[in-house]
Amino acid sequence: MTVSKALAELPYVREEIGFHDRAEAMLPDFMERIYRTSPFYREKLDQAGIVSTNVRTLEDLAQVPFTTKAELRHGYPLGLMAVPEAEVVRIHSSSGTTGKPIIVPYTQEDVNIWADMMARSLAMAGVTRKDRVQVTPGYGLWTAGTGFQAGVERLGAMAIPTGPGNTEKQLEMMLDLGTTVLIGTSSYGLLLAEEIQKRGIREKLKLRLGIFGSERWGEKMRQRIEDILQIESFDIYGLTEIYGPGIGIDCSEHEGIHFWSDHLLFEIIDPTTGRTLSPGEEGELVITTLTKEGMPLLRYRTHDITRLHLQPCRCGSPYPRIDRILGRTDDMIKIKGVNIYPGQIDHVLRMTDGASSEYKIVLTRHQGKDTLLLKVEGETGANREEVAHACQHNIKSRIGILVDVEVVTFGSLPRSEKKSRRVFDEREE
């Protein structure tokens, strides 16, 4: 089924709305509402000397201060709530691995819109009412499990809510229920794929699609999961502070992630100067939540590095796109005066024969001199020395710095059920 046909089958998908200028057109109403309902933003805008009713275009918006994660933390637990508590039907929370978590309140309308966006994402990936969808992300305070579940139900497919972990049970469900769609983090997708390969049970499975998200993952990792499982996979985007997963997904063209611009306004900024960048330029993604009620956000800095694309996609969808996430501004490695994103390393590995998708970066400093060691898994049977040499050469020519490369045995770097940590900075401050 074509994407537009799948989308057209959803009565609540308003195809005519979705272009970037429509998002801009929604801005005045949003500014009026956020000033009226959010004590946090009323104070913030007043302090910045911004008159909310004067913010009517993207150009006006560029003058408005950003919202940061630190402000959200500072507002813990419900300081950014913008509706009377009686209207809040649910909260979710970020993991809070560093400091206090962020609590996000949702109204019934927020929950509905999120389920719509998720159903739209699933439809774009080709999921239909006839699919059986295994949802392996975590449930509970985290947004992922619940978010996927609601979208699967909204679409009318069958959710199999296994949650994370317990590989035995996952495979049993997959076999016995004939799961057709697997949802998870890409690391967990790879872990399951390798286990399926090891047991030689692929032929007994009915898997046809994979939807992976919640961490940046390279083309090579996606390719590997697709090759082992013989499925098509899709990259779903989202973050807890906005709704959760499902605010965008790539289509079958796999040339960037479509996002739902009838609910969200995306801008790209220079992460250092804060200047707004043009479509096509690489920078940090900043999101304004045009229709969110419980905790609306104005110019929220995501720290995700990408580019905005407004030209039409070959799939025919009217929704604009961003590139798949290249990295995070906080993952940016500064070494020898060069800024490197892990996304660039993925890119180099993709073009290097014999190198797998799995790697780790170790930064050390010795006598004031920085060294980057790339540990990468070689494909089985590859000549390690040749692969190391090719990696080194490709990084030098593509990124412009000389690094040390060590090729390790395939499967020796840790796989994770959640997010794989790849950069280890052991330099002392």
Contact footprint for Zn ion (CB under 5 A):
251, 253, 313, 315, 317
CA 54 – CA 395 distance, rounded (Å):
48
Radius of gyration of the chain (CA): 22
Q: How far is the CB of 258 from Zn ion (least distance, A)?
A: 6
Helix (H, G, I), strand (E, B) or coil at 236: strand
Q: How far is the CB of 324 from Zn ion (least distance, A)?
A: 13
Q: Using the minimum distance from each CB to Zn ion, give the nearer residue, 251 or 391.
A: 251
Q: How far is the CB of 149 from Zn ion (least distance, A)?
A: 25
Q: Using the minimum distance from each CB to Zn ion, give the nearer residue, 115 or 124.
A: 124
Strands in 300-306's sheet, in edge-to-edge order, are 264-269, 283-289, 300-306, 327-328
Q: Using the minimum distance from each CB to Zn ion, give the nearer residue, 195 or 255.
A: 255
Q: Which two tokens stand for residue 246?
A: 């499902």
Size (the chain), residues: 429
Q: How far is the CB of 313 from Zn ion (least distance, A)?
A: 3
Q: Using the minimum distance from each CB to Zn ion, give the nearer residue, 192 or 315.
A: 315
Q: Is the dihedral of CA 18, 22, 27, 29 positive or negative?
A: negative
Q: Using the minimum distance from each CB to Zn ion, give the nearer residue, 35 or 266.
A: 266
If phi > 0 it is left, if psi is from -120 to 50 it is alpha, else beta; for residue 249 that is: beta
Q: How far is the CB of 264 from Zn ion (least distance, A)?
A: 17
**Alpha helices, H only, 219-357:** 219-229, 342-350
Q: Using the minimum distance from each CB to Zn ion, give the nearer residue, 229 or 251.
A: 251
Q: How far is the CB of 280 from Zn ion (least distance, A)?
A: 17
Q: How far is the CB of 124 from Zn ion (least distance, A)?
A: 8
Q: How far is the CB of 55 from Zn ion (least distance, A)?
A: 30
Query: E strands of 166-281, at which residues?
Result: 181-185, 209-213, 232-239, 244-250, 257-259, 264-269
Q: Using the minimum distance from each CB to Zn ion, give the nearer residue, 147 or 248.
A: 248
- Among candidate residues 294, 217, 357, the one with its CA nearest the CA of residue 37: 294
Q: Using the minimum distance from each CB to Zn ion, give the nearer residue, 234 or 359.
A: 234
